[in-house]
Amino acid sequence: MTSLVAIPFLNLKAQYERLKPEIDAAVARVLASGWYVLGPEVEAFEQAYAQAVGCEFGVGTGSGTGALQLALLAAGVGPGDEVITVSHTAVATAAAIRLVGARPVFVDVHPERYTLDPSQLPRALTPRTRAIIPVHLYGQPADMDPILDFAQAHGLTVIEDCAQAAGARYRGRPVGSLGHLAAHSFYPTKNLGAAGDAGMVTTNDPALAERLHALRQYGWRQRYISQEVGMNSRLDPIQAAILNVKLPHLARWNAARQRLAQRYRELLAPTSAIPPATFPDAEHVYHLFVIRHPRRDALMAHLKAQGIGTLIHYPVPIHLQPAYRDLGFGPGSLPVTERLAGEILSLPLYSELPEPAVERVADAIRAFDGETTTGQ
């Protein structure tokens, strides 16, 4: 085992090393400018990313969670309101809802798409429902048309959670341009990652954009004068400068992820691993390559012994976590979500991952299946 070359789940340094001169120069430019909060670097990235997403306005925030929280506040969601979303997601989705004083109402996910199942929306609707947050999970766009139709019929705001889907498209349109508002994360592990926390809200509504600008900085429309209670969630100019360097490479990086994902599909076809489903209405950008396997925990241990890094996204659904048990969604309430939590496994995938590494991961999975069959 000691002779094996480890395959890490993720290698963030690989991308930095390829862009080191440009990134270092961008950081030095910000430091030399003396402008360390908001300013031209932030404005440039807000405009560039909003354009890439197909929106008129982008408002940079301190994190993806901050982006969700600000989007909810801008939409007027607050105490006593309910927001429909999924439990099969990063906890930030539900945390943002609670941070504005509202109640998350969970619905189950589609068994193959792993995103919000629109057929579940009617049973979650109450007179207190104000918004829906569909999550484009793992890089897979949610099925947005029926969600948008339902929201329009009931006067609800749609806030897309695009944290894991930079560059993904639904019916040819970029995610982030489909709902009333969209929250984006540039956490370092994302397809478009900063060197720390960073986020953005995009919208095509000028009134919402104006309110977002005020809310992210204490509710100021005039400096030092708060017209309403806001917060401090500002995109850092150093992070914006780094993202300005990286944004032109996003499409190429996503294409590399898609090629590696296709290679995984080919190599895993004869195994018990179930790869992510694809849909004709969606362009998946594979923030994560998540398989399902009937013996997930044993497979994970086997891959670890082979020097292969894996993770589970996510091992415990939000509705079963201690901080959210008071919402009343007990075991068995979301059967698809709960079944997935016991079967899913994220394999190594990032744009700089060498193809031979994908082949070695697949070889290890085939070997595991062979040993399992022999053992039976």
Kindly state the tokens that stand for 114. Answer: 């792993």
| Structural domains of the chain, ranges and CATH numbers in brackets | 13-248 (3.40.640.10), 249-375 (3.90.1150.10)
Edge-to-edge strands, sheet with 173-174: 173-174, 169-170, 282-283
pLDDT attached to residue 2:
43
pLDDT attached to residue 71:
98
Rounded to the nearest 10 degrees, what angle do helices 40-53 and 12-33 cross at? 140
pLDDT score of 374 more than 80: no
At 129 the three-state DSSP class reads strand
141-171 residue pLDDT tens: 999 999 999 999 999 999 999 999 999 999 9
The share of the chain scoring above pLDDT 90, in percent, equals 95
Confidence of residue 1 (pLDDT cuts 50, 70, 90): very low
The whole-number average pLDDT for the span 316-345 is: 97
Q: Is 227 in contact with 219 (CB distance < 8 Å)?
A: yes
The dihedral region occupied by 94, where left means phi > 0, alpha psi between -120 and 50, and beta the remainder, is: alpha
Confidence of residue 61 (pLDDT cuts 50, 70, 90): very high
pLDDT score of 376 more than 60: no
pLDDT attached to residue 176:
98
Confidence of residue 4 (pLDDT cuts 50, 70, 90): low
pLDDT attached to residue 222:
86
281-298 residue pLDDT tens: 999 999 999 999 999 999
Tell me the residue type at 70: L
The dihedral region occupied by 219, where left means phi > 0, alpha psi between -120 and 50, and beta the remainder, is: left
Taking the CB of residue 180, how many other CB atoms lie within 10 A of it? 20
Q: Of the candidates 373, 364, 332, 325, which has an alpha carbon nearest to the alpha carbon of residue 345?
A: 364
Confidence of residue 312 (pLDDT cuts 50, 70, 90): very high
179-217 residue pLDDT tens: 999 999 999 999 999 999 999 999 999 999 999 999 999
Tell me the residue type at 320: L
Q: Is 105 in contact with 130 (CB distance < 8 Å)?
A: no
Structure-model confidence comparison of residues 71 and 1, the more confident one: 71
The share of the chain scoring above pLDDT 70, in percent, equals 97
Q: Name the H helices within the chain.
A: 12-33, 40-53, 64-74, 92-99, 121-124, 144-154, 206-215, 237-246, 250-268, 296-305, 335-341, 355-375
The whole-number average pLDDT for the span 233-261 is: 98
C-alpha 107: how far from its chain's center?
18
